[in-house]
A and B are shown apart, each in its own frame.
Chain A
Amino acid sequence: MDSRRVPRTVSDPKVRQVGFFAPAAPLDRSESGPPAPTSSSPPVSDVSPSGNSLSPVMIPPPRHLSTDLSRHFPLGPPISPLRVARAADTSIPVGSYNPSEFLTPTATTEFSEDPLSPRWGRRGSSGKFATSLPAGGFNMALAKQKNAVNLPPDGGSNVEVQKEQRAVTGKPLKEKTTKAERRALQEAQRAAKAAAKGEGSKTGASGVNTANSNTGKPVKAVSQKKDSSSVAASEKKGGDRQPDKDRKKDVPHPRMQFDDANRVEKAKKRSVVKQTEAKNRVELFRHLPQYEHGTQLPELESKFFQLDTVHPAVYKVGLRYLAGDISGGNARCIAMLQAFQESIKDYSTPPEKSLIRDLTTKINGYVSFLIECRPLSISMGNAIRFLKTRIAQLPLNLSESEAKVHLISDIDRFISEKIILADKVIVKHAVTKIRDGDVLLTYASSSAVEMMLLHAHELGKHFRVVIVDSRPKLEGQKLLRRLVGKGIHCTYTHINAVSYIMHEVSRVFLGASSVLSNGTVYSRVGTACVAMVAHQFHVPVLICCEAYKFHERVQLDSICSNELGDPDVISKVSGRKEINTLDGWANSENLQLLNLMYDATPSDYVSMIITDYGMIPPTSVPVIVREYRREHLWI
């Protein structure tokens, strides 16, 4: 068999069979254990979003499986004993499982320290999410494993275990019991943890530290330094270990649910930015953060010179997010990356710490600060993921200055290749779709669309632009100003008139904050409306979006993940007293103001997505995500 794409196929063996399936492949997989069988139930493990390097759509070829496993498990524990340990631990002596694979001290400490610690320190919540996600299952498995390992190895036979395992895997019932068990154990651990926390953050780590042999010290140091709360510290630790828990990398992190009073309280305690919550929130959107805007800025500015945890460059960027100075996916992402560059330049590894871990912790801290200022966009999430992967992959023998130079140049390359060059390619593609005499409609302001329009104008194409805008941001006005300044013939209207103006339009070009795996376009609120009207009028809708903004998440509505803006701006018009009829009504219980920032456009309304990989139909977004995820992360 000739492999056409040699480098990729070699590094990532996979067989996607179209049309004819050898029925053996999936069977084989479930029998010999996919690389992620540590999560308890097979269905879950199938769904669990690409914890390791195999993405869910790929079917690992049976014949490569052995090599595959050895690649993913450098420590080489056969999967089967884990299952036994989990499922049948009451009946068999679990300790008989030979723990030699786990003898590496880092591994043991890792398993024993804090099985609940989430991988990303940046999201506000601690352990609770574990119940609702496959990640929880994984953690529990680890916890179990730890138990197994900690028992004195009495030299039992592996053969017996293997035999047991056969029997166990045949049993469909076991997952139920394990789930219950898992939950019970988890509750217990959570309780223990809460108790420990109650005793005090410094002593709290003692129980944990019994198992710590090597890394105990740094952990303690961290928790002492950040004496605000131990939760934060332990979270940061979770972030540290990210390279080891490679498989968990892509599990979507549960977002902070802001209707959960407990956790909001907790999150507030350690936040730098003291946001005041808006009072009357719309029922469906209570899970999203909504703050009174404009109150905290002066206070934060005064704090500028007494920062300890946040680098000034990052702080500055955060404040600009907060004030709304930087907006637009690319601009925000570039600003963030440049701030990180600054902070890396000024970074020096504290004694007795490794750069990889400590820097990741630092970055996590910055990220959670930035989230407090304004929720991250998906593109920023991808950029952060990229940076963290780069940090984690730094060769250990690199000196500090070399490592820093590496990282800084990596960030530079990300900015230039994934954002700036990508935009150029997009412009090049998009221009081919503009003919003389076209009327192009765009909504709000997208940097890619603007560049494309300007470029088409430079090429001497004759076209007219309709800019559709909406309150409260009126972003289109700035775009209008720039386009008219270049001599492009423009029409400006508000979204209310979109159904009127659409009949004269021949193309709709829209930007996007992100494109999700099912082809859903997540963009400025109002985009979906424009796209639907265009679809109804049989006008093609073209989305210009860089591929680094693609995300493997699937979203069906704009409710579960969104951003709420300042509700005041939609109820007030500054400087126009006579039409501010809602003045003073903001606190009325019967009034709920909803200022959504984004919405989701279903892929049915999108004719084409123009990315740096060419023009693709929305159904091909998962293909790009699948084929280029590695490239995005590691360039």
Chain B
Amino acid sequence: MWYRSASFILDKQQQQQNDTVTNPESRPPSSASTAMAAENPNANISMYYQTRAAHHGVVTNDWLAQAQAAVGGHPDDSVSDNYVSGSEEENIRYSVVDEFNNWRKQPELAEAVAAIRALASVIRSSQATTMMELEIELKKASDALKSWDTTSISLTAGCDLFMRYVTRTSALEYEDFNSAKSRLLERAEKFGEISYKARRIIAMLSQDFIFDGCTILVHGFSRVVLEVLRTAAQNKKLFRVLCTEGRPDRTGLRLSNELAKLDIPVKLLIDSAVAYSMDEVDMVFVGADGVVESGGIINMMGTYQIALVAKSMNKPVYVAAESYKFARLYPLDQKDMVPALRPIDFGVPIPSKVEVETSARDYTPPQYLTLLFTDLGVLTPSVVSDELIQLYL
């Protein structure tokens, strides 16, 4: 699946506008705010949402201040790469989870990519002397990562895909262990590279779908969607964005903030105003926590109802998702998922007799999605299963 990655579109683009590509990396980091995580040190919250809260929590004043201060001071990717590999050499027994957390601190780096890089470093630092040993070690590391947060779909899927991609190779037939290992490492790094580039690829692919004068409804804060919109803005497209509020962690506010910085006309809606404003919307753009085998997506709570409204008004629903989010899951209905919980702040105390639905995400069945923009290309929902079958069986 990966060798067919549409990354060439990126390479082409890179020659033309070098500044565009380097731009996202020098953007201000947003990891400063740990407000959400600090407020809710609740064991009930799934790690996934704690991370998300840490990375793009509520927009606070101190976040803005720190963001301003941090402009330019962000470590370049290659630098941090060196740093990590350097530390690896010093401390071989470095736990994969620590490594992963290290990577995870970068807000621009998706969780799965962080996991992929952490796993690659496992290969690098491994002292195994046989292929089998190395594979077992890798397996253990990936299991450790997966159990670190069972609710994150992209983490699990990323680890699985990494194992598939790296170990399913003819390299294993090399007689010389060291050359086999270096081949594995090469593949691992390539995989990491592809995954890292995925967001750019998706942004490039989606440009054909955004036309001048269109109105786009977005839901939640998705870095891919942001990248798509940013690229479109940089390509001098004229469009308007409607941003849902994204309760309870108000991710929409953050997205609208980012968009406003890019001079994109943006309008905020409360989540319940989706149907009200759907008639002026030309397309719905959402990200995904995970893409499941049916071709549907699991995403932030509220995506399903937006998709339903969009479907009933015949508006296209586009999903931007990197292919490392493809997971071998097949939820039959909303309750048929690993629950990911997230506290909801209602502002007033809730009587203890009142039950609160704290699920953080819902499942949108494939029939409500129009297209998926992935780094494998623009896919219809039914192709997802095709790719997964090819990869896993």
Contacts and interface: CB of A to CB of B under 8 A. Distances in A.
A302 B29 CA distance: 88
A613 B2 contact: no
A627 B1 CA distance: 14
B382 A620 contact: yes
Nearest to B8: A20
A18 B383 contact: yes
A19 B332 CA distance: 28
A46 B385 CA distance: 25
A542 to B, nearest CB: 8
B377 A4 contact: no
Contacts of A608: 294, 330, 332
Contact of A620 (B335, B385, B391): B385
Interface in A296-315: none
Contacts of A20: 6, 8-9, 377
Contacts of B168: 4-6
Given A17-B4, A620-B385, A607 B332 contact: yes
A433 interface: yes
A2 interface: yes
Band of interface residues on A? 20 to 34
A433 B332 contact: yes
Interface string A539-559: 010100000000000000000
B205 interface: yes
Contacts, number: 87
Interface in A593-631: 607-608, 613-617, 619-620, 623-624, 627
Interface residues on B, range: 35 or more
A608 B385 CA distance: 12
Contacts of A607: 294, 332
A615 B6 contact: no
B385 A619 contact: yes
A19 B389 contact: no
Contacts of A542: 332
A507 B377 CA distance: 34
Given A20-B6, A540-B332, A617-B294, A2 B389 contact: no
Contacts of B165: 4
A615 B329 CA distance: 9
A616 B292 CA distance: 10
Most buried by B among A16, A542, A614: A614
Contacts of B386: 620, 623
Given A607-B332, A613-B389, A614-B328, A2 B3 contact: yes
A617 B393 contact: no
Nearest to B379: A18
B20 to A, nearest CB: 21
Contacts of A19: 6, 205, 376-379
A90 interface: no
Interface string A1-33: 111111000000000111110000000000000
Q: Which of A5, A18, A607, A608 lies at the interface centre, i.e. has the most chain B CB atoms within 10 A of its CB?
A: A18
Contacts of B205: 19
A17 B377 CA distance: 9
Contacts of B4: 16-18
A617 B379 CA distance: 15
B288 to A, nearest CB: 17
A6 B169 contact: yes
Interface in B356-393: 366, 376-379, 382-383, 385-386, 389-393
Interface string B3-18: 1101011000000000
B50 to A, nearest CB: 27
B385 A616 contact: yes
A5 B387 CA distance: 12
A627 B393 contact: yes
A499 B335 CA distance: 24
Nearest to A604: B367
A615 B293 contact: yes
Contact of A2 (B187, B330, B376): B187
Given A6-B170, A19-B379, A615 B330 contact: yes
17 contacts: A2-B169, A3-B3, A4-B3, A4-B165, A4-B168, A4-B169, A18-B383, A19-B376, A19-B377, A20-B8, A20-B377, A433-B332, A608-B330, A616-B330, A619-B385, A620-B382, A620-B385
Interface of B: 1-4, 6, 8-9, 164-165, 168-170, 187, 190, 205, 293-295, 328, 330, 332-333, 335-336, 366, 376-379, 382-383, 385-386, 389-393
Given A617-B295, A620-B386, 8 more contacts: A2-B2, A2-B3, A2-B169, A4-B165, A20-B8, A433-B336, A607-B294, A608-B332
